[in-house]
Structure 1
Amino acid sequence: MLATPADAEIILKLYELRTEPLMRQARAWMTGEFWPNTAEEFFAVALNPADPHNAFFRQVTTYWEMGAAMVLHGAVSAELFVDCNGEGFFLLAKFAHILEPIREKMPMFMNKTSELINRFTAAAARYEMALKNVQARRGKFQPSQEWQVR
């Protein structure tokens, strides 16, 4: 299915939304600083509204799940969305090593992104690339002690 001008408008709007200053700050924290090694470290932020980064976590994950849902419901071309957006796949890959215990407590965590990967070959390929990227970065990355459970 070819992307339409309406699809392009949605993609551009999604891009515009993620350049908003607070969203940029939240995305920078999620992609660059939040590297939980265990489910407990993940839950210390994700399930703790008192944690100062909890709002960043919720903002970024719900943003990417909203975008994935738009694709799954036919509001935007899957091919165009996958070509233009890799961060949601990166985030899912980042938590892949602890995804099972996460979904035991949070069954819907990044389910729409997972469904994209299962339904669209291009999304699966993008996710595989993200997994390799995450594995390479995780080996070099030393998480900030600022957010870790003590």
Structure 2
Amino acid sequence: FAEFNPQSLADFNATMLGDHSGHMRMVISYWDMAAALVNDGAISLELFSKSNGEHIGVFAKVELLLGEIRASYGPHYAASLEKLIDATPDGRKRSAAARERIKAIRAQVAARQTKAAQS
């Protein structure tokens, strides 16, 4: 999932139809299911938030494409996850911050790879 960073619906589709489709679907559906448990009261938001944060990073990877993804794959794609993010204090801000951290990490990795290739 670390390599899954779609910038467009075409990127999302390439993963959905590619070799890592199962991995991507498993991660997103897992966190959507976990979110449904919180949304329906099986686990309190407070308890869930104390021990989890990965769902925010997962949501950050698809958030900006949700409209297009839902138009292609159905209106309920990651709906429970989105509902949980919206119920989480500063959820959208945390998602945006996660996106920026992911971008910075990817830039650092790319710089290291470029430097290693030049050595």
TM-score (norm 1): 0.61
**Residue in 2 that maps onto 1:114:** 82
- Unaligned runs of 5+ residues in structure 2 are 111-119
**Residue in 1 that maps onto 2:9:** 39
Structure with the larger helix share: 2
Q: Is 1:61 matched up with 2:35? A: no
Structure 2 residue corresponding to 1:98, chosen from 65, 71, 74: 65
1:122–1:77 distance in 2 versus 1, CA, 3 Å: farther
Aligned residues: 109
1:57–1:71 distance in 2 versus 1, CA, 3 Å: same
Structure 2 residue corresponding to 1:71, chosen from 32, 38, 55: 38
Shift of 1:103: 2.0
- Structure possessing the higher relative contact order (Cα contacts under 8 Å, 6 or more residues apart): 1
Quote the Cα distance in structure 2 between the aligned partners of 1:111 and 1:45: 20
TM-score (norm 2): 0.75
Structure 1 residue corresponding to 2:104, chosen from 122, 136, 149: 136
Percent identity over paired residues: 32
Quote the Cα distance in structure 1 between the aligned partners of 2:46 and 2:91: 8
- Give RMSD over aligned pairs: 2.2
- Unaligned runs of 5+ residues in structure 1 are 1-29, 143-150
